[in-house]
Structure 1
Amino acid sequence: MTEIKSFALGPLQTNCFVLVNGSQAVAVDPGGDPAPVLAFLRDKGLTLTHILNTHLHFDHTYGNKPLAEATGAPVLHGADDAYLLETELGLGGLFGLPPVERYEAQTIEPGEAVFAGLACTVLATPGHSRGSLTFHFPEAGAAFVGDLIFYRSIGRTDFEGGDLDVLKRSVTRCIFTLPPETRLLSGHGPETTVGDEMNHNPFFAGF
């Protein structure tokens, strides 16, 4: 039996998700002080196997270093976002917000993977950022989409590396082809489902 726990972390209240499978867990987008995540892992007796970043914008990575140091779990991200590690968009400091602590990370390619003992399809879903990834866990019935798509909305595309047409193609080709009951767990705001967004997201009217 899988479980998904969410934590709103950091100055932009980024959704950090912990997907639990038995005694193992994987964290997605720790966007702030991971103390609540660590307390949850400790209370449940869980081993964190990986830290997954849907993309490397600063508000999704604030907790990478402390969470990795506390658990020993590797940080994984899309190769096409690696350049952000040398920009303000990835390092923080924008809008008067604090900088991100430098962290060690590894790239992961789209394709099939296993995290916390669960099969995962890693999908390349650029548009919000060049290297944005979606992590689809069929057994959990969930896809972690970062800032690609939100409840009734989409991610902004005016940051460097963003592209509205590319984002829409990513959603229609990679997200709307998932089972309609699949939960979409976004970087901000409430969760939704594939079917709900296909039918009601105004950015895809007439899809």
Structure 2
Amino acid sequence: MEIKTFHLGPLQTNCYVLSGDKEAVVVDPGGDPAEVLAYLKDKGLTVTHILNTHLHFDHTYGNKAMADATGAPILCSQEDLYLLESELGKGGTFGLPMVDEYTPETIEPGEHSFAGFACTVFLTPGHSQGSLTYYFPEAGAAFVGDLIFYRSIGRTDFPGGDMGILRGSVINHIFDLPPETLLLSGHGPETTAGDEKLHNPFFTGF
């Protein structure tokens, strides 16, 4: 199992490829996915799913191009579909480009399998109403989107955001993971569940 990180789009969103020998999933293609597609071709990997942690524009810029190139379904939470009708989902805000229209499929929280790997999907709202965390125990990694970052948390001032709900999502799901679990966020460096539980100022009373 291998995890490769790409920095895509105008906000340099972290896009991840989790792969085995032959199959892969792509998480949050937030810009032109040309370099991701080149990597997949070089490795001989077939994409089984495109996983969106949430549907803010900076995580979805590459959804359509990736889906068109691979034929893989785009998965998201039902609770985030409202964003497809807003500037936060369509793009165009802050003078940034519009998002090419795409058609996602919804996924329920619970146990799933992607690219042959077991995955637990948690509904972790707070940054958006339908933010999802994808936890792959075999990889010891959780793709958390903009829920939590190294020493920080996602914004809660956008429509659908809520600080109290976000804190609950982190405490009840992320901090319950094994402490060595890698947290792979939408922006910035990786960290671990245990490290953030001990040192993230939004949870330690700093």
User: Which of the five TM-score ranges fits, normalised by the shorter chain?
Assistant: over 0.9
Unaligned runs of 5+ in 1: none
Aligned residues, how many? 206
Query: In angstroms, what is the RMSD of aligned CA positions?
Result: 0.9
CA distance in structure 2 between the aligned counterparts of 1:28 and 1:180, rounded to whole angstroms: 22
Report the equivalent of 2:168: 169
One-letter amino acid of the structure 1 residue matched with residue 5 of structure 2: S
Report the equivalent of 1:113: 112
Unaligned runs of 5+ in 2: none
One-letter amino acid of the structure 2 residue matched with residue 29 of structure 1: D
2:40 pairs with 1:41 = yes
CA distance in structure 2 between the aligned counterparts of 1:175 and 1:60, rounded to whole angstroms: 20
State the SS of the aligned residue for 2:50.
Answer: strand
CA distance in structure 2 between the aligned counterparts of 1:9 and 1:157, rounded to whole angstroms: 23
One-letter amino acid of the structure 1 residue matched with residue 111 of structure 2: E
Cα distance, 1:206 vs structure 2: 5.4
2:188 pairs with 1:189 = yes
TM superposition outliers: structure 1 runs of 4+ over 4 Å: none
Report the equivalent of 1:59: 58
One-letter amino acid of the structure 1 residue matched with residue 168 of structure 2: R
CA distance in structure 1 between the aligned counterparts of 2:85 and 2:160, rounded to whole angstroms: 14
Report the equivalent of 2:155: 156
2:141 pairs with 1:142 = yes
TM-score scaled to structure 2, two decimals?
0.99
Cα distance, 1:133 vs structure 2: 0.2
State the SS of the aligned residue for 1:196.
Answer: helix
CA distance in structure 2 between the aligned counterparts of 1:65 and 1:194, rounded to whole angstroms: 32
CA distance in structure 2 between the aligned counterparts of 1:104 and 1:78, rounded to whole angstroms: 13
TM-score scaled to structure 1, two decimals?
0.98
Percent identical across equivalent pairs?
Answer: 73
Task: Encode CA deviations 1:138-170: one digit per residue, 9 max, x unaligned.
Answer: 001000000000000000000000000000000
CA distance in structure 1 between the aligned counterparts of 2:159 and 2:109, rounded to whole angstroms: 22
State the SS of the aligned residue for 1:162.
Answer: coil
Cα distance, 1:131 vs structure 2: 0.2
